[in-house]
C-alpha cells in the first residue's frame, strides 16, 4: 500500500516566528528503504549511516538515535530487523522490531511507532519514535544507557544505574546455573537452547515493569522471571527467553540466588513458557532441578513443606494454575515440587523427565503419567496426599 499526502506549508510573513518546515510524508516504499538502511547500518556497524536515517534537525531525536547506537553496539546485536505496518496519512506506522543478542535462543520482538518525513533528496528520515503504548513491553535499549557484564555462558544486561558488584554476581551465578542445568537435563530436554543465559537487570521496579509490560506490579511477587520477549504468535520463529530480575525483591543469600537462577534457567532450557502442561508440573520440575544440586536448600524446603502442611493442612488436589499467580505462592511452589519429587523418588528421574516431555508436548496429563509411570493421575494424587501426611 502506498499513501502519499502532501501538506502545504503557508508562508508566514511579518512575524518573528519562523515558518514551520513543510512536513511531507514519504511513500510506504521510501519509508521501508529507510528502515532497510537502518538495518544495514546496524549489521555493518556504520554509525554515520545509522545516524543519517534520523532527522538531523531534532536534537532530542538525535540523542535517542545516539543512545540506541551505543546500546545496540554494546549488545553486539546479531539480528535487528524493522518491519513497518501501513503508513497512515501523517506518515507514521507501527514498527515491529525483531532483535537478538549473542547466545539468544530466539528473537526478541517489540512494537514501536515511527513517523517518517520525506527529504528533498527523495529519501525519508525517521522524524519521531515512540514505544508501543503501555502496557506493551519496551526493549532494554530504548531509553537508558546499558552496560554489559559477560561471564562464561552468561550475559547480564544492566539498565540505568548499575551496581557493578551486583551485576557481576548475577553474571557469575547465571554462568554456574547454565552449567548445572546442562548437566541435569539430558540433551533431548533442552533442544533449541544455546546454553547461554541472558539476564536483564533493571535499575528499579519501574524499569522491571517496563521490560515485562502488562499492568505495573503484576509480577512484583517474583524475584526474577524467565520471560519470553516476544509477541505471542505461534507462526513466528522461536522467541528469545531471558531472565528479568526484579530489583524490588533482592536476593541476598547466594544459595537462594543459586536456587532461583537454576530454576529460571530450567525454564529457559525447556522453553516452557506457555507450555500446555499444568503449572504444578512446569514449576515443580524447575524446582526439582534446582533443589537437586543443593542438599542444604532441599532440607530447608522439606522443613518448609512440613510447616505448611502442619499449619494449613494437607491439600486434597494438586495446585491449580491460578495458585501460582496469586495467594500463597510459597505453598504452591512447595506442593508442586513435592509432587515432582515423589515421582522421581518412586519411579526415577528418567520417568519424571519423560513425563515432563510428554505433558509439555501436549499429551493430557493423565495419559502422559500412565504412559511413563504406569499410574493414573487420580491414583497418583492420592499417593501424593498420603505421602505428604505420613509422619517422618
Ligand atoms: Zn518458575
Per-residue confidence (pLDDT) for residue 219, from 0 to 100: 86
Q: Which domains does the chain have, with CATH numbers?
A: 28-131 (3.10.450.50), 139-270 (3.40.30), 275-392 (no CATH)
Per-residue confidence (pLDDT) for residue 226, from 0 to 100: 93
Per-residue confidence (pLDDT) for residue 325, from 0 to 100: 85
Q: What is d(CA 177, CA 181) in angstroms, rounded to the nearest whole number?
A: 6
User: 103 alpha carbon to ligand 1 midpoint, in Å?
Assistant: 21
Per-residue confidence (pLDDT) for residue 12, from 0 to 100: 30
300 three-state secondary structure: helix
372 three-state secondary structure: helix
Query: 59 is written with which cell numbers?
Result: 536534537
User: 192 alpha carbon to ligand 1 midpoint, in Å?
Assistant: 19
Q: What is the DSSP letter of 237?
A: -
* Contact between residue 85 and residue 172 where contact means Cβ atoms under 8 Å apart: no
User: 225 alpha carbon to ligand 1 midpoint, in Å?
Assistant: 7
Per-residue confidence (pLDDT) for residue 29, from 0 to 100: 97
State which H helix or E strand residue 286 sits in.
Answer: helix 279-292
Q: What does pLDDT average to in each consecutive run of 10 residues of the chain (392 residues)? A: 27 40 84 98 98 96 98 97 96 96 94 95 96 89 95 94 88 96 96 96 92 87 88 73 93 90 96 92 97 91 95 94 89 97 97 97 97 97 94 65
User: 71 alpha carbon to ligand 1 midpoint, in Å?
Assistant: 29
> What is the DSSP pairing of strand 197-201 with strand 154-159?
parallel
Per-residue confidence (pLDDT) for residue 233, from 0 to 100: 63
Per-residue confidence (pLDDT) for residue 232, from 0 to 100: 59
Q: Where are the alpha helices (DSSP H) in 95-204?
A: 164-184
Per-residue confidence (pLDDT) for residue 281, from 0 to 100: 98
Q: What is d(CA 116, CA 36) in angstroms, rounded to the nearest whole number?
A: 14
User: 199 alpha carbon to ligand 1 midpoint, in Å?
Assistant: 15
pLDDT tens string 41-99: 999 999 999 999 999 999 999 999 999 999 999 999 999 999 999 999 999 999 999 99
Per-residue confidence (pLDDT) for residue 214, from 0 to 100: 84
Amino acid at each position: 500500500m502506498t499513501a502519499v499526502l502532501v501538506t502545504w506549508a503557508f508562508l508566514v510573513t511579518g512575524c518573528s516566528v519562523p515558518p514551520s518546515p513543510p512536513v511531507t510524508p514519504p511513500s510506504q516504499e521510501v519509508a521501508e528503504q529507510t528502515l532497510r538502511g537502518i538495518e544495514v547500518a546496524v549489521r555493518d556497524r556504520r554509525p554515520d549511516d545509522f545516524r543519517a536515517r534520523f532527522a538531523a534537525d531534532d536534537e532530542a531525536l538525535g540523542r535517542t538515535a545516539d543512545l540506541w547506537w551505543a546500546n545496540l553496539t554494546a549488545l553486539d546485536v546479531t539480528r535487528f530487523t524493522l518491519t513497518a505496518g501501513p503508513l497512515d496519512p501523517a506518515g507514521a506506522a507501527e514498527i515491529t522490531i525483531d532483535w537478538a543478542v549473542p547466545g539468544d535462543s530466539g528473537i526478541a520482538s517489540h512494537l514501536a511507532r515511527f513517523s517518517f518525513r520525506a527529504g528533498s533528496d527523495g529519501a525519508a528520515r525517521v522524524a519521531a519514535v515512540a514505544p508501543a503504548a503501555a502496557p506493551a513491553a519496551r526493549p532494554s535499549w530504548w531509553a537508558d544507557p546499558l552496560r554489559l557484564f559477560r561471564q562464561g555462558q552468561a550475559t547480564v544486561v544492566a539498565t540505568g544505574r548499575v551496581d557493578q558488584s551486583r551485576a557481576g554476581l548475577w553474571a557469575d551465578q547465571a554462568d554456574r546455573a547454565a552449567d548445572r542445568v546442562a548437566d541435569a537435563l539430558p540433551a533431548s530436554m533442552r533442544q533449541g537452547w544455546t546454553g547461554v543465559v541472558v539476564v536483564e537487570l533493571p535499575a528499579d521496579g519501574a524499569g522491571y515493569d517496563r521490560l515485562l509490560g502488562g499492568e505495573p506490579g503484576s509480577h512484583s511477587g517474583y524475584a526474577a522471571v524467565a520471560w519470553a520477549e516476544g509477541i505471542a504468535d505461534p507462526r513466528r520463529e522461536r522467541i528469545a527467553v531471558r531472565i528479568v530480575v526484579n530489583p524490588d525483591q533482592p536476593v541476598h543469600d547466594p544459595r537462594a540466588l543459586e536456587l532461583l537462577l537454576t530454576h529460571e534457567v530450567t525454564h529457559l532450557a525447556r522453553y516452557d513458557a506457555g507450555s500446555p502442561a499444568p503449572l504444578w508440573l512446569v514449576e515443580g520440575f524447575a524446582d526439582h532441578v534446582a533443589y537437586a544440586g543443593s542438599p542444604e536448600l532441599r532440607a530447608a524446603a522439606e522443613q518448609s513443606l512440613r510447616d505448611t502442611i502442619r499449619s494449613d493442612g494437607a491439600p486434597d488436589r494438586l495446585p491449580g494454575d491460578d495458585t501460582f499467580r496469586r495467594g500463597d505462592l510459597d505453598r504452591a511452589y512447595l506442593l508442586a515440587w513435592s509432587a515432582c519429587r515423589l515421582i522421581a523418588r518412586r519411579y526415577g528421574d528418567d520417568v519424571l523427565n519423560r513425563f515432563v516431555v510428554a505433558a509439555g508436548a501436549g499429551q493430557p496429563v493423565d495419559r502422559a503419567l500412565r504412559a511413563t509411570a504406569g499410574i493414573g493421575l487420580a491414583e497418583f494424587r492420592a499417593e501424593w496426599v498420603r505421602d505428604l501426611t505420613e509422619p517422618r
